[in-house]
Amino acid sequence: MAHETPEDRPSGMRAGATAPAKCILLGEHAVVYGMPCLSVALDMRTAVAAERSTSATTVNGHPLESRYHSYLMQVLDRVWKDPSALRLTTRSGIPSSSGMGSSAALSVAAAATLYDLQAGASDAEVAQAAFESERATQGGGSPNDTSVATAGGAILLAPERRTDAGLEHLWSVTLDDRAWEVHRARLPKLALVIGVTGVRSDTGEQVAKVRRFVERSRFGEETMEAVGTLVWEGLDALRTEDLATFGNIMGRCQTALHTMGVNHPSLQRLIDAAHTVPGTYGAKLTGAGGGGSVVVLTLDPEGVAEAIGRAGGIPYVLEPSTEGVRHTAGEEATEAEVQR
Ligand code: MEV
């Protein structure tokens, strides 16, 4: 690596962690305004590894720079309390700026890795640090994505602790005087198709756009409240395996997201393509919108994947992943496979 000499090579302990992608089923954007949000982790992961270094901190052999490593810098600021420099490696299997939570997975895997190099931390502490780091980088937002990447499986975020609807409370994430309660949701097995538009989307920009919509009139707040009601109805529909009702609710959330201003022609093309396939229950954008990805619930994942491909998207047929953050010795992010 161009920026390192053999003397820079560290000795000693190496730590690492991986964290999964996520897909928001219902409730993106409204979750920023205290509404519930239902998400699942996906079977794609980002890996981080770290060891102490005797020279300046590097990422994949390059100097740490805010232009390239803004998320890692925020995590380091919060979690790394040791004076030593670090040699960090990262490897992402999650498409970036695609609504699939690549920055959340990176923040979670990095926080877990850095805690493991020190005294260790609970999942709740990892989720809190990753949220604060992501929020500082994006300039707003909720702990939804970092909570899903930490906990894995299906997660429902709500403003209050719930024990109904089959929910199990995991932890709270706080910011100033606000709290988000993170719950494990039990969902039936789902076959999801994610369609990536290839149009890169900046979460911070989309969150800021929706903030202007909410602040403009009471209608903005009402739209968020309507999405909140749909999330609870959707959770009930999924628990009773009423996929037709759930698909209809996905469509109603998509209409609300369009009203908020975060739909995009590239997303609409993939949603329309999915609806041409018999057996499709519902389709909507997932994540921040403005580009990024759609999620489709269907009886025919292969048919929908083909239709999305024909419409210009990149399809992934994925099952939700039950595994959240995974602590490793760093073997998943080795120099041979790093990306900047
Ligand atoms: C982005 O994946 C989800 C948003 O609701 C933002 C957030 O919750 O931080 C749009």
CA of 69 to the centre of ligand 1 (A): 20
Contact 87, 76 (CB under 8 A): no
**For a pocket test of ligand 1, which of 22, 33, 144 has the largest count of ligand atoms closer than 8 A to its C-beta?**
144
How far is Cα of residue 247 from the mean position of the Cα atoms in its chain?
Answer: 21
Domains and CATH numbers, the chain: 13-187+324-339 (3.30.230.10), 192-318 (3.30.70.890)
CA of 37 to the centre of ligand 1 (A): 9
pLDDT beyond 60 at 293 = yes
Contact 295, 39 (CB under 8 A): no
The average pLDDT across 153-177 equals 96
Residue 287 in contact with ligand 1 by CB distance below 6 A: yes
Beta strands at 85-92 and 58-59: parallel, antiparallel or unpaired: parallel
Residue 39 in contact with ligand 1 by CB distance below 6 A: no
Most confident of 12-21, 183-192, 280-289: 280-289
Please state, for a pLDDT cut of 90, what percent of the chain lies above it. 90
pTM of the model: 0.93
213: left (phi over 0), alpha (psi -120 to 50) or beta: alpha
Confidence band for 10, pLDDT divided at 50, 70 and 90: very low
pLDDT beyond 60 at 124 = yes
pLDDT beyond 50 at 335 = no
Q: Which residues pair with 14 in a beta bridge?
A: 51
The average pLDDT across 263-283 equals 98
46: left (phi over 0), alpha (psi -120 to 50) or beta: beta
pLDDT beyond 80 at 331 = no
pLDDT beyond 60 at 190 = yes
State the average pLDDT for the chain: 93
pLDDT in tens, 296-329: 999 999 999 999 999 999 999 998 888 999 999 7
pLDDT in tens, 212-246: 999 999 999 999 999 999 999 999 999 999 999 99
Q: With both helix axes pointing from N to C terminus, report the angle between 218-239 and 203-216 in degrees, rounded to the nearest 10.
A: 120
pLDDT beyond 80 at 8 = no
End-to-end CA distance of the chain: 12
Contact 218, 271 (CB under 8 A): no
What is the rounded CA–CA span in Å between residue 224 and residue 75? 30
Element (H, E) at 172: strand 168-175
Element (H, E) at 164: none
Return the residue matching tokens 């997932």: 286
CA of 295 to the centre of ligand 1 (A): 15
